[in-house]
Structure 1
Amino acid sequence: MTYLLICCRLLLGVVFLVAVTGKLRGPAAFTAFVSSVRRMRVLPAALARPAATAVVAAEATIVAAAAVPVHAAGVLAFATAAALLTALTAGIVTSLARGGQEPCRCFGTADTPLGARHVARNAALAAVAGTGLLAGLLAAPTGAGPLAAPVDPALAAVAAAGGAVAGALIVMLDDIVALARPHR
């Protein structure tokens, strides 16, 4: 179960690291994110900036907690990710139901409008977070050391690499879909 936790931590860590850095790479990037939240028409316009700030704070919390090799930090990362992804998915679904065509600003700048693939992506990420949370709660710390269980370094490296690669693929989902589309 330790390797599953490592894989899930890295996957979510990569996804949310790219998300938070994309939104905070400069004032214009954060302003664009706030504007996209406002244009989604899910919240009153006055709440767009506080909501965007809360999203970025939650993303940063996930990254920081996922990076700390302490059992409780991993549980915090998974719980925060599950809650955030649930809220973000609800926002996307609500916006789409209202006819929203707002570009996905999930990772900073993008021209691709939010759509079903973003709902599916978030649902898959929420499943990863839920799996990590459940595994983390079931695998209570039993030994000494930062990960609280004996870890084979080679297997840990494979789990970490798998999580990082999966996270990178998720971040590049819109680009991958664009490559697979026939050109007109």
Structure 2
Amino acid sequence: MAVYSLVAIRAALGVVFALAATSKIRPGGLAPFRAALGALVPATRAAAPLAVLVIATECAVVTLLAWPSPSATAAGLALAACALVAFTTAIATALRHGKTAPCRCFGASARPLSHTQLGRNSLLLALAGTGLAVWPSASNKAGGSAGMWIALATGVLLGAALTAFDDLTELFTTPTPVRQPPTGTTASHQPTKQGLRP
């Protein structure tokens, strides 16, 4: 069971960090991310090198988690956990100072910074911690082919869901607007009979 859990966790974190990195390095993605860092991080002049460091870290996590080596898996999980702690701390600090500029964590999204990002990062951090916990008992074991493919698919779907965590949260928490009747209309109309005399 532990080996399948580790595969699913590696896949989920790999998908999240891969999408985060590619959204920033695609054409037109780096400048908005660098500007967002400048708005959220107090040391504005460090925004450019910090953006490069974030992208390099995300790429390193993806590479380590995909590498078929137990030691690389452990390093990837540890690096992911450290990165998530840093990201979560930065977001919490920005929110505490009243900053709500878009974080551009996944590229073009202009959604203001909120506690939703803290929730998503907490879930990702829990995944990384669980992966590190099961790694000693699962790193040198092999699972069945079918089970491995199911674990891999589960991890990919989980990673995609966590990437869209903001959208899913908004979908299930935004109240449905109540339609108001058009101005100047009455609540009901009673039919009248015309042309009848008693």
- Give the structure-1-normalised TM-score: 0.90
4+ long deviations beyond 4 Å: none
Q: CA deviation at 1:130?
A: 1.1
Secondary structure of the structure 2 residue equivalent to 1:139: helix
Matched with 1:182 is 175
Give the CA RMSD over aligned residues: 1.4
Matched with 1:86 is 85
Among residues 141, 146, 153, which one is paired with 1:149 in the alignment?
141
Matches of 1:108 and 1:133, distance apart in 2 = 28
Q: How many residues align?
A: 175
Q: Identity rate of aligned residues, in percent?
A: 35
Is residue 7 of structure 2 the alignment partner of residue 11 of structure 1?
no
Matched with 2:160 is 168
Matched with 1:21 is 22
- Equivalent residues in 2 for 1:17-96 (5 A)? 17-26=18-27, 28-40=28-40, 42-96=41-95
Matched with 1:114 is 113
Matches of 1:29 and 1:100, distance apart in 2 = 21
Matched with 1:102 is 101
Gaps of 5+ in 2: 178-198
Per-residue CA distance 1:102-132 (angstroms, 9 max, x = gap): 1131111112111111001101101111111
Q: CA deviation at 1:43?
A: 3.4
Matched with 2:150 is 158
Matches of 2:67 and 2:57, distance apart in 1 = 16
Q: What letter matches 1:9 in structure 2?
A: R
Matches of 1:149 and 1:177, distance apart in 2 = 37
Which is greater in Rg?
2
Matched with 2:124 is 125
